[in-house]
Structure 1
Amino acid sequence: METHTYLRRRNQIESYFDGTAAEAWKRLTSDAPLGRIRQTVRAGRDDMRATLLGWLPDDLRGIRLLDAGCGTGALANEAAARGAEVVATDLSRSLIELARDRAPRTFGTGHVEFIVGDMLQPDLGRFDYVVAMDSLIHYSAPDMVVVLAGLAAKASRGVLFTYAPKTTALAMMHAIGRAFPRSDRAPAIEPISAFHLDELVEAEPKLRDWNICRTKRIASGFYKSQAVELVPE
């Protein structure tokens, strides 16, 4: 069940990526030249996307996949190129429009449907896999696990997601961001320790039949994210 804090943060994320961040995200996810800091973020995101796709079967024909928080559609397009039937959702209409513009005209046996909306909306249906790359990092740890439970209810074979690992440097940046808020600043990233995540997953009744299978950290300059694979027992 969606909480009040989840809905409030969801609205902040939607507003940010439809407004302040739209042009910057367009450049970050393209081949356009970037400054040194954003180059590390682009490289880290490329590594993370490759990691998550590498945890999926090589042949995705006949597989239905939800790309939850798809951004400009890079992961969705790669999965479809391997044969998957992909539903790709994002809160941001601007990013979905860009994803549609960038998508190839044909994927062979695969397909992508880009949808503006919430990853938890009930009319999306059931999937073999759900992938949520860097789309949960702005939510509090309890809300993130509630969302994971909702995504797991849609998946039969696995949920692949990322979170912001709690490190000293990331915690410091997080504290500074809260101390000096700006109207154009991205919604704060919510770092979480692996131990705390394990505790919350184990305590969530709707995830009692799911286990953490694989995990991998990607660190590239200013990009730090932890990949996790949840699988049913």
Structure 2
Amino acid sequence: MKINTDDKTIVKNYFNAIGFDRWQNIYGNGKVNKVQEDIRFGHQQTIDTVLKWLKSDGDLSGLVICDAGCGVGSLSIPLVKEGAIVSASDISEKMVTEARKRANDILENTDTINFYVQDLETLKGNFHTTICLDVLIHYPSDNAAKMINHLASLTNSRIILSFAPKTFYLTVLKKIGEFFPGPSKTTRAYQHNKDMIIQTLKQNGFKIQRTGMTSTKFYYSQIIEAIKE
């Protein structure tokens, strides 16, 4: 499966350079500006929603989970705390290094978490649950659908995705430069049609179980959970 190489290269280079400095700070506890603080709050809301969904379905002990696009480990580390066995990957070597460092600092035992550098379309494995949060925004819809197809092929039970929904309001914000503010500080930001995401999941044998929406001033993320039929 081949995706737009240009987009992938841009994402990889961005998160190994200025993007890493920006986002590892947003996802941490350091001092940030008002916009970054809002994005930090919104992202944490998405993480909290996913953790709430997972825990509401029962004990996570021994559950094999893929965190595809793990960033600095904001979801992976709490999953391990809940007893899950986590395979955490990211296209950025710097992000993976930071995630591994945070896991070593926070977790008493890191035997049940494996961090590695990998892009979505080359991931391998067999997982009970696959989670991919705030990654699809970096890729156009055709490539996003291919990525979802691939993630579905690795998943036995459940997929959880989050993405920037395609709405008139967000399209306007994006056009005037407010969706991800700051010149030359982010990758291309792609919005996706919710129905397209749902249809792609259904074509892979999954049905929608839960949906959610995180909405702040500068952070918008549609969350979808689908389970295998």
* TM-score normalised by structure 1 residue count: 0.87
2-side partners of 1:60 and 1:196: how far apart? Answer: 30
C-alpha deviations, 1:84-108, integer Å up to 9, x for none? 1111000111111111111146455
Q: Does 1:225 align with 2:212?
A: no
Q: How many residues align?
A: 222
1-side partners of 2:108 and 2:168: how far apart? Answer: 43
2-side partners of 1:195 and 1:74: how far apart? Answer: 28
C-alpha deviations, 1:92-145, integer Å up to 9, x for none? 1111111111114645597211101113325x3101101101011111122111
User: In the alignment, residue 115 of structure 1 is paired with which amino acid?
Assistant: Y
CA spacing shift, 1:199–1:154, aligned 2, 3 Å = closer
1-side partners of 2:189 and 2:82: how far apart? Answer: 32
Q: What's the secondary structure of 1:37's corresponding residue?
A: helix
Unaligned stretches of 5+ in structure 1?
Answer: none
1-side partners of 2:207 and 2:116: how far apart? Answer: 29
How far did 1:176 drift? 4.1
CA spacing shift, 1:109–1:33, aligned 2, 3 Å = closer
**Do the aligned residues in 2 keep the contact of 1:132 with 1:161 (CA within 8 Å)?**
yes
1:114 corresponds in structure 2 to 115
User: In the alignment, residue 114 of structure 2 is paired with which amino acid?
Assistant: E
Q: Does 1:156 align with 2:152?
A: no
**Do the aligned residues in 1 keep the contact of 2:67 with 2:87 (CA within 8 Å)?**
yes
How far did 1:199 drift? 4.2
Identity %: 27
2-side partners of 1:150 and 1:200: how far apart? Answer: 11
2-side partners of 1:64 and 1:221: how far apart? Answer: 35
CA spacing shift, 1:8–1:28, aligned 2, 3 Å = same
Unaligned stretches of 5+ in structure 2?
Answer: none
C-alpha deviations, 1:153-208, integer Å up to 9, x for none? 1111101010101222321233345xxxx983422221123234334545x4xx1x
**Do the aligned residues in 2 keep the contact of 1:83 with 1:109 (CA within 8 Å)?**
no
CA spacing shift, 1:161–1:110, aligned 2, 3 Å = farther
